[in-house]
Amino acid sequence: MPQQEYIKYLYETEELSINEISAKVGVNWRTAAKYAKRDDWNPVQATGRRRRPILEPFIDTIDVWLLEDRLLPRKDRRTAKAIWK
């Protein structure tokens, strides 16, 4: 974090160019540009909204199929592809 603040200081107060900053600090010019032009240093927070699983409506049915298949011989059970279809 101190290096990021120093890059911001060099860019705003000392008015050095991005290339001069990258040479002085020893970082890539893209990194220097990113740190120099960033205003908000707080990490981006997730919205808190969770995604619903795609299989949610089918979970009960699949569980019943898997329980039924346990009683069958191994070769007669449903494959993953059959369950997906």
Average pLDDT of span 7-23: 90
pTM reported for the whole predicted model: 0.48
For the stretch 19-28, contacts whose Cβ atoms lie closer than 8 Å and that sit 24 or more positions apart, written own/partner, are 27/3
SS3 letters across the chain:
CHHHHHHHHHHHCCCCCHHHHHHHHCCCHHHHHHHHHCCCCCCCCCCCCCCCCCCHHHHHHHHHHHHHHHHCCHHHCCCHHHHHC
The mean pLDDT of the chain is: 86
Tell me the per-residue pLDDT of 43-71, one tens digit each, with 9 for 90 and over.
Answer: 777 676 777 788 888 889 999 999 999 99
Report which of 33, 30, 3 is spatially closest to residue 16, judged by C-alpha positions.
Answer: 33
